[in-house]
Amino acid sequence: MSSQPRSMIEVDDLHVSFKRGRGRIAAVQGVSFVVSAGATFGIVGESGSGKSTVLHAIAGLVPAPSSAVLIEGRPMPTTRVKSDRRLLQYVFQDPYGSLHPRQTVDRILREPLEIHRVEERDAAIAAALADVGLGPEHRYRYPHQLSGGQRQRVAIARALVLSPRILLLDEPTSALDVSIQAEILNLLARLRRERSLTSVFVSHDLAVVAHLCDTIAVMRLGRIVETLPVATLRAGEAGSAYTRELIAASKGYSRAEGLGEA
Amino acid sequence: MSGEALFEVEALNVTYVDPRRSVRAVRDVSFALGRERLGIVGESGYGKSTLGRALLGLVQFPGIVEAQTLKFQGRDLKSFKPAEWQALRGRHVSMVMQDAKYSLNPVRRVGEQIMETYRLHNSKDRREARRRALEMLDAVRIREPEAVFDLYPHQLSGGMGQRAMIAMMLIGNPEALIADEPTSSLDVTVQNQVLRVMDELVAKRGMGLILISHNLSVVSSFCDRILVMYGGRIVESLDRDRLESARHPYTRALFASAPSLTHPVETLSVVKRDPAWAE
């Protein structure tokens, strides 16, 4: 925060493909961007655009050549070691699916601390819960005893308990009601300020991404169509036709424009 | 509201009864549906879907539906027997659900399923039913109706599946359509295509439409009139162009909590729930 932004994450000409039958599907084709320290970078796109795969590649969950992902200027090896993994943490879309149904909140938050051999685990868990606005009464509950918003808070606490430098957010509010979404977005904004986290936020919802991010990449069919500052997006000065189409679509249904065309 | 009422609902209550406690999912709901696009918004668990299901007689035990008035085109639904409901559904009132993948039969071809609906209510003639099903697929703007007719639901994309559902629901030529989160699982651009298909068909046939959704921008841009539900109750009824004049604190807070592309704010406002709203 103090010094001028250096690059925290660099994605350089990233290609990811998956085997499918006899051929391969190119999910990500030559994606490049830089996220400076403390910034929040947004990726928007529709299903199948490859936005989540980019996040997976940054986290090392899909194999990518080490030259394609750099964190703090250091190329990330294809097989990551524990200290690489600790740099970044993930929050997933589905607060129902991403927490172990038979573990208490305490157990869920303790596991990463044990894996990374962090001491004073009890204090760390209590602090993480308080940080995401959950009380001590939630600590020994099971996920099914929590609401969707509370579960997503647990998922965020689990990500923060290791004090990562980078937070990767994959549609963290898509499964939530608008009012709960507002609470989670406010929470993320506060945490980012307090902890000077660098984050990459993936969502299909332009308004949500624009709310939290400084710069947005629009993806389509595995490629970045356009990278633009949020101010440009809000001003409606997007360069590509696809981005403008997305903006128009996310403003809601328009009866007039539909007459005639399919 | 225009013309005669399709649905007339007064003091509708749906209670789920349990030996230990009963839950009133829908409380004292009253409204009328004409040949218009009526939106019902609210968050999860506030009774939107239960209300939609009650209108179709689909609330099952332990749910109990009670109402002072529950009429469709003047006919009293309260006295309906299962066979009468059966005759009403699909022929006069249809329902489009959120996810076509779960609503369609996974082991039967899409076209067969659309034909089945037609043959149930109209002519039993297979050839005619097939022709009508193909026409319907074309009407929902599926490009190659002949090819899609022979596909299984898992072979369709989300938007195509939803359009096939709409085709199936409209082939009986109903007077009213209840759409429960019809576009929630779709991408925004596809979402608008599906809404467009529904909008045009409903307008062309002079149908009444109830669109149930949690998505404020969809409902407020699509519907003529919006009912806001909170805790099973309708707390406010708004005309499409008068959303800014919403008076109920829940409605106002709900609209303010959604991030907007055009009106950025530093911190989103959070809905502070007042127990009195549910009373």
Give me the residue label for tokens 């939290």: A212
| pLDDT computed for residue A1 by the predictor | 46
- Name which of B193, B257, B267 is nearest A178 (Cβ-Cβ): B257
CATH 3.40.50.620 fits B7-92+176-278, yes or no: no
Asked if A69 contacts A14 with a C-beta cutoff of 8 angstroms, the reply is yes
The ipTM of this complex is 0.80
Q: What is the DSSP letter of A176?
A: S
Least confident segment among A65-69, A72-76, A249-253, B170-174: A249-253
- 3-state SS, chain B, equals CCCCCCEEEEEEEEEECCCCCCEEEEEEEEEEECCCEEEEECCCCCCHHHHHHHHCCCCCCCEEEECCEEEECCEEHHHCCHHHHHHHECCCEEEECCCHHHHCCCCCCHHHHHHHHHHHHCCCCHHHHHHHHHHHHHHCCCCCHHHHHCCCHHHCCHHHHHHHHHHHHHCCCCCEEEEECCCCCCCHHHHHHHHHHHHHHHHHHCCEEEEEECCHHHHHHHCCEEEEEECCEEEEEEEHHHHHHCCCHHHHHHHHHCCCCCCCCCCCCCCCCCHHHHC
| pLDDT computed for residue A260 by the predictor | 40
Average pLDDT over residues A232-250: 90
The chain A residues in contact with chain B (CB within 8 A) are 46-47, 148, 177-183, 185-186, 189, 204-208, 210-211, 233-234, 245-247, 249-255, 258, 262
Distance CA B76, CA A109 (A): 56
Q: Going by DSSP bridges, is the β-strand pair B225-230/B233-239 parallel, antiparallel, or unpaired?
A: antiparallel
Residue A237 has pLDDT above 80, yes or no: yes
Asked if A146 contacts A138 with a C-beta cutoff of 8 angstroms, the reply is yes
Asked if B57 contacts B89 with a C-beta cutoff of 8 angstroms, the reply is yes
Nearest CA in chain A to B254: A179
Per-residue pLDDT of chain B (279 residues; tens, 9 = 90+): 445 799 999 999 999 998 888 889 999 999 999 999 999 998 888 899 999 999 999 998 889 999 999 999 999 999 999 999 999 998 999 999 887 778 899 999 999 999 999 998 888 899 999 999 999 999 998 889 999 999 999 898 888 899 999 999 999 889 999 999 998 888 888 888 889 988 998 899 999 999 999 888 889 889 999 999 999 999 999 998 777 788 899 999 988 899 988 888 888 988 888 878 877
Give me the residue label for tokens 């639904």: B77
Least confident segment among A42-46, A218-222, B158-162, B178-182: B158-162
Q: How confident is the model at residue A93 (pLDDT cuts 50, 70, 90)?
A: confident
Asked if A172 contacts A188 with a C-beta cutoff of 8 angstroms, the reply is yes
Domain residues of chain A, as ranges?
Answer: 7-95+166-251
| pLDDT computed for residue B100 by the predictor | 75
Share of chain A above pLDDT 70, in %: 95
Distance CA A54, CA A129 (A): 29
Asked if B22 contacts B15 with a C-beta cutoff of 8 angstroms, the reply is yes
**Residue type at position A162:** L
The string of DSSP codes covering A45-75 is --TTSSHHHHHHHHHTSS---TTTEEETTEE
Distance CA B14, CA B48 (A): 11
Q: How confident is the model at residue A5 (pLDDT cuts 50, 70, 90)?
A: low
Average pLDDT over residues A68-95: 90
Distance CA A71, CA A6 (A): 11
CB contact under 8 A, B43 and A179: yes
Classified as helix, coil or strand, A6 is coil
Tokens at B115, concatenated? 């034909």
Average pLDDT over residues A17-33: 90
Average pLDDT over residues A245-260: 74
- Name which of A178, A210, A258 is nearest B261 (Cβ-Cβ): A210
Classified as helix, coil or strand, A79 is coil
Å between A66 CA and nearest CA of chain B: 33
| pLDDT computed for residue B230 by the predictor | 93
Å between A228 CA and nearest CA of chain B: 14
Q: Which of A253, A254, A255, A257 to mutate to test the interface with B (most CBs of B within 10 A)?
A: A253
Q: Which pTM does this prediction carry?
A: 0.86
Select A7-95+166-251's CATH number: 3.30.420.40, 3.30.390.30, 3.40.50.300, 3.40.50.2300. 3.40.50.300
State whether residue B257 sits within 8 Å of chain A by CB: yes
Distance CA B19, CA B248 (A): 35
CB contact under 8 A, B270 and A46: no
> What's the angle, vertex CA A1, arms to CA A57 and CA A81, rounded to 5?
35
State whether residue B263 sits within 8 Å of chain A by CB: no
Give me the residue label for tokens 């899909």: A62
Give me the residue label for tokens 């009407």: B139
Nearest to B219 by CA among B228, B230, B207: B228
Asked if A129 contacts A138 with a C-beta cutoff of 8 angstroms, the reply is yes
Contacts of A253 in chain B (CB under 8 A): 192, 195-196, 199, 218, 221-222
Q: How confident is the model at residue A261 (pLDDT cuts 50, 70, 90)?
A: very low
User: Residues of CATH 3.40.50.300 domain(s) within chain B?
Assistant: 7-92+176-278
Distance CA B222, CA A69 (A): 43
Q: Going by DSSP bridges, is the β-strand pair B23-33/B7-16 parallel, antiparallel, or unpaired?
A: antiparallel
Residue A2 has pLDDT above 50, yes or no: no
Distance CA A66, CA A80 (A): 10
Contacts of A262 in chain B (CB under 8 A): 141, 193
